[in-house]
Amino acid sequence: MPQSEHSQAAELHNHAAHAHAVAACGHSTGDHASDHELTEKAYESSQEAAQLSRKIAKEEQPDSMAA
């Protein structure tokens, strides 16, 4: 069954939050390269989630609100 756009956006937001949490926890280990990679992935997921969320919001606006 295909995933709805809402589910996709939620999954992307959750993935970004998880990646940020893992990077924050790992920061104390001194492996800053891996933490930086996780932060980059989190940022990319956040941007993709935000873009999809804006698309969903725009599609769901009543015609009188869309301009």
pLDDT in tens, 41-50: 888 888 888 8
* CA pseudo-torsion sign 19, 22, 27, 29: negative
CB contact at 8 A, 53 and 5:
no
Band (pLDDT 50/70/90 cuts) for residue 51 is very high
Q: Encode pLDDT of 14-37 as tens digits.
A: 888 888 788 777 776 776 667 778
- State residue 31's pLDDT score: 65
- pLDDT higher than 70, residue 2: no
